[in-house]
A and B are shown apart, each in its own frame.
Chain A
Amino acid sequence: MNPLPPPAGQNPGPVPSQPLSDGAFSHAVLVVDDNRVMRSMISRAVTLSGLPVSRIDSAGNGREALFKLGGGGFNLVLLDINMPVMDGEQFLHALRADPRLNATKVVVVSTESSPARIRSLRGLGADFIHKPFRPEELIAAVGRLSSALPTRPGGP
């Protein structure tokens, strides 16, 4: 059985993005997908994208993702929707309901094509890119969220 996320009171929340010398932000990324090959592929795409990344890790479902986020250190989640145990939509609701985690930025990476469901995901503050995606689409989605990423006190 997967461990439960730690109680909210013990949760340090999303790590602030670290400002770089050129004014950009580094991303601490959690890739959430139930397929191991896809997790590896997305992680590699992030690494090769040129995006400033300070950390990258992965989880196989929403519940595992919440547990890892509960440990702190992430500010960006790349999220699949159709997963066992806890799917991406359930994860998003749980994330937004947790005051310690609800500022975490999320890009949904999915084959989902229903306009209503995509609107629902966007309503939960997530950006969306469609599988299969091109690296430029990932960069653009992260870029759209970056301006709102929390920064360290004293940062730009």
Chain B
Amino acid sequence: MDRDACLTTVAEIVGNLGFLTPMGVAEAIPADARERVIEVTYAGACQGRIVIAVGPGLSRELARNMLGIPPGDPVSEDDADEALKELANVIAGNLLPMIVGVYKASLSPPAQVAPERFPEGDAICLDLAEGLLAVAIVEEGGLALDGSGGTSGTGRLDRKIDDGAAG
């Protein structure tokens, strides 16, 4: 996958859907600072999961923006959870064609998972004015889209899968 295209897509979505402000690219969200982690699995020609983690306070700001909650008014945990799930759903839906190319795959509903489900290693991490957001793609097998005889790995964001090299 083209990492820059992936990064651009995620940045556009957080801006257009969440009204959040991308400031640049960050290294990572420290493991102990991952306040919420949402996972969307994909299955079909290949299988895997797209995992989104956010730093402290970001999901509440996201809910505030998406629901139009005035500054100073409280944001419920449920609203923060739902807002982040929808953001994860839209990010996953837009990244899926970059992952599976022309092949068919379907997405699961987004689910909140334990912070440890976010994989260490390669991930896209955006530094937003409202906090940190990271996206990891974990491939868990399927068609040999890169001609290697199979896929399995974590966050292989630089792998070319859209070159028609399916087996």
Q: Are A114 and B104 in contact (CB under 8 A)?
A: yes
CA A61 to CA B97, docked complex, whole Å: 25
Q: Is A34 an interface residue (CB 8 A)?
A: yes
Q: Are A111 and B68 in contact (CB under 8 A)?
A: no
Q: Is A112 an interface residue (CB 8 A)?
A: yes
Number of B interface residues, CB 8 Å? 24
Within 8 A of B (CB), among A96-127: 110-114
CA A36 to CA B66, docked complex, whole Å: 11
- Who on chain B is nearest to A112 by CB? B93
Q: Is B83 an interface residue (CB 8 A)?
A: yes
Q: Is B89 an interface residue (CB 8 A)?
A: yes
Q: Are A111 and B94 in contact (CB under 8 A)?
A: yes
How far in angstroms is the closest Cβ of chain A from B29? 22
Q: Which of A35, A82, A110, A112 has the most CB of B within 10 A?
A: A35
Q: Are A44 and B68 in contact (CB under 8 A)?
A: yes
Residues of A within 8 A of B13 (CB): 132
CA A114 to CA B94, docked complex, whole Å: 11
Q: Are B82 and A37 in contact (CB under 8 A)?
A: yes
Q: Is B148 an interface residue (CB 8 A)?
A: no
Given contacts A113-B96, A131-B90, A132-B90, contact A37 B16 (CB under 8 A): no
Q: CB-defined interface of B69-92 with A at 8 Å, one 1/0 digit per residue?
A: 000000000010011011001101
Q: Are B67 and A41 in contact (CB under 8 A)?
A: yes
Given contacts A34-B109, A111-B89, A113-B94, contact A132 B17 (CB under 8 A): yes
Residues of B within 8 A of A40 (CB): 66-67
Q: Is B63 an interface residue (CB 8 A)?
A: yes
Q: Are B109 and A134 in contact (CB under 8 A)?
A: no
- Who on chain B is nearest to A36 by CB? B82
Residues of B within 8 A of A143 (CB): none
Mark B residues whose CB is within 8 Å of A: 12-13, 16-17, 63, 66-68, 79, 82-83, 85-86, 89-90, 92-94, 96-97, 104, 106-107, 109
